[in-house]
């Protein structure tokens, strides 16, 4: 009996081992089938370098394109000064007046001096004519005739000098009146009536009606990068819907001693009436920042606590992760400064479900 049991184990042992081997192979086959998942569908885009425009915004003010400060040419006491801030004036309109007594006295003296000089000239001419007749008749000497000629010329010169003094006296009287040289609006006023003013002291500043400027204080770096003739969009700070277009027409040759910024004047084209003188405005301009790479914001993920994207190998459709450096971003676009090159393919949809070395199926490319 013992011999039969030994023979039975010997018979069934190979059968059991074969069955176990078959079960193990079957299990391995099922695991292999489970691990080999189908390629994950994704959307992609091809990297391109494009010229990027960087928006810049500055705050400034509205000024007249042409402003002039009017002042008296002579010193004196203000007799009248009725101009007010905001008044509109016309060309030739009287703005202020000095007390003219001294200038009127000078005018009277000039008139009297001219009358005296004209009387002396008449007397010198009569004497010259008498000497000329007597010399022709032989009743006088050549010396007397030449003296009469010299006296006539001197009297003529004195009359001319008196006429010049009279013209100067008339000018001085006219200088006691200050008139507008062009139509415009009063944007600043000087001393009131009764005060003694000096020649050249500002009595009023007039903004002429032939143009408006938006004036900004710009850092030197921005001034250098701004292209010539760039268009600027200007809007009211308190109401951005009111806008006007303009172009840079003047840049200060020297920086401000305190702020170290440059004054930039933008000539406005047909500014709306709401852009009054002195209003605070914002200027917006777009300048080129060179070729940049922009990708959809949906392509961005995070790997190793840093921004990254998934790169697709076009020959194998396998993905690899790559960290990138971000220059700027918004809700739709991300500007990449380093980490990508033109021509590479990145995943733009489905990035959260990928892992390194995974095979993908491209559904379509985004523009």
Sheet holding 67-71, edge to edge: 67-71, 202-208, 184-189, 88-89
Residue pLDDT, tens place only, 143-195: 999 999 999 999 999 999 999 999 999 999 999 999 998 888 888 899 999 99
User: Do residues 64 and 211 touch, judged by C-beta distance below 8 A?
Assistant: yes
Residue pLDDT, tens place only, 36-94: 568 888 888 888 887 666 678 889 999 888 888 999 999 999 998 888 888 889 989 99
As given in the structure block, the two tokens for residue 151 are 């006296």
Q: List own/partner pairs for 30-35 with CB under 8 A and 24 or more apart.
A: none
Report how far residue 357's alpha carbon sits from residue 341's, in angstroms, rounded to the nearest whole number: 20
User: Do residues 272 and 242 touch, judged by C-beta distance below 8 A?
Assistant: yes
pLDDT at 359 exceeding the cut of 80: yes
For the entire predicted model, the pTM comes to 0.53
User: Do residues 114 and 158 touch, judged by C-beta distance below 8 A?
Assistant: no
Report how far residue 72's alpha carbon sits from residue 70's, in angstroms, rounded to the nearest whole number: 7
Q: Beta 280-296 vs 301-303: how paired, if at all? A: unpaired
pLDDT at 251 exceeding the cut of 80: yes
User: Do residues 50 and 163 touch, judged by C-beta distance below 8 A?
Assistant: no
pLDDT at 10 exceeding the cut of 60: no
* Average pLDDT score over residue span 234-262: 90
Report how far residue 148's alpha carbon sits from residue 340's, in angstroms, rounded to the nearest whole number: 104
Report how far residue 318's alpha carbon sits from residue 356's, in angstroms, rounded to the nearest whole number: 8
Other CB atoms closer than 10 Å to residue 54's CB: what's the count? 15
Torsion of CA 35, 38, 43, 47, to 10 degrees: 60
User: Do residues 45 and 300 touch, judged by C-beta distance below 8 A?
Assistant: no
In this structure, of 9-13, 103-107, 321-325, the range with the lowest mean pLDDT score is: 9-13
Model confidence band, residue 104 (pLDDT cutoffs 50, 70, 90): very high
As given in the structure block, the two tokens for residue 344 are 């590479």
Report how far residue 327's alpha carbon sits from residue 348's, in angstroms, rounded to the nearest whole number: 19
First to last CA, the chain: 85
Q: What pLDDT score was predicted for residue 53? A: 65
Beta partners for residue 303, in sequence order: 306
* Average pLDDT score over residue span 107-112: 96
Model confidence band, residue 211 (pLDDT cutoffs 50, 70, 90): confident
* Average pLDDT score over residue span 204-212: 82
Q: How many residues are recorded in the chain? A: 367
pLDDT at 208 exceeding the cut of 70: yes
Residue pLDDT, tens place only, 341-352: 888 889 888 788
């Amino acid at each position: 009996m013992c011999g039969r049991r030994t023979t039975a184990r010997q018979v069934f042992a190979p059968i059991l081992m074969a069955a176990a081997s078959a079960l193990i192979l079957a299990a391995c086959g099922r695991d292999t089938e489970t691990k080999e998942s189908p390629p994950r569908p994704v959307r992609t885009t091809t990297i391109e370098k494009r010229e990027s425009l960087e928006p810049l915004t500055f705050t400034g003010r509205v000024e007249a394109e042409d402003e002039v400060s009017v002042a008296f040419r002579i010193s004196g006491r203000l007799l009248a000064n009725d101009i007010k801030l905001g008044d509109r004036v016309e060309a030739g309109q009287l703005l202020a007046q000095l007390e003219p007594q001294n200038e009127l006295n000078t005018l009277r003296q000039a008139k009297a001096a001219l009358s005296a000089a004209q009387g002396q000239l008449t007397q010198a001419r009569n004497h010259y004519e008498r000497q000329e007749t007597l010399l022709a008749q032989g009743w006088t000497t050549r010396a007397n005739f030449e003296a009469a000629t010299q006296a006539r010329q001197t009297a003529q010169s004195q009359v001319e000098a008196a006429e010049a003094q009279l013209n100067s006296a008339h000018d001085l009287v006219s200088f006691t009146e200050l008139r507008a040289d062009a139509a415009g609006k009063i944007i600043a006023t000087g001393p009131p009536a009764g005060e003694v003013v000096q020649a050249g002291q500002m009595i009023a500043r007039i903004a002429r009606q032939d143009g408006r400027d938006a004036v900004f204080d710009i850092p030197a770096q921005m001034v250098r990068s701004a292209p010539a003739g760039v268009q600027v969009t200007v809007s009211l700070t308190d109401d951005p819907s009111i806008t006007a277009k303009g172009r840079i027409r003047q840049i200060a040759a020297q920086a401000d001693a305190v702020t170290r910024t440059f004054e930039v004047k933008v000539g406005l084209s047909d500014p709306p009436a709401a852009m009054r003188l002195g209003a605070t405005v914002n200027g917006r301009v777009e300048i080129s920042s060179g070729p940049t790479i922009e990708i959809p914001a949906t392509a961005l993920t995070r790997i190793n606590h840093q921004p990254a994207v998934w790169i697709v190998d076009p020959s194998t459709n396998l993905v690899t992760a790559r960290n990138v450096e971000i220059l700027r971003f918004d809700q739709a676009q991300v500007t990449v400064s380093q980490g990508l090159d033109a021509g590479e393919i990145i995943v733009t949809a489905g990035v959260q479900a990928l892992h390194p070395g995974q095979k993908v199926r491209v559904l379509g490319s985004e523009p």
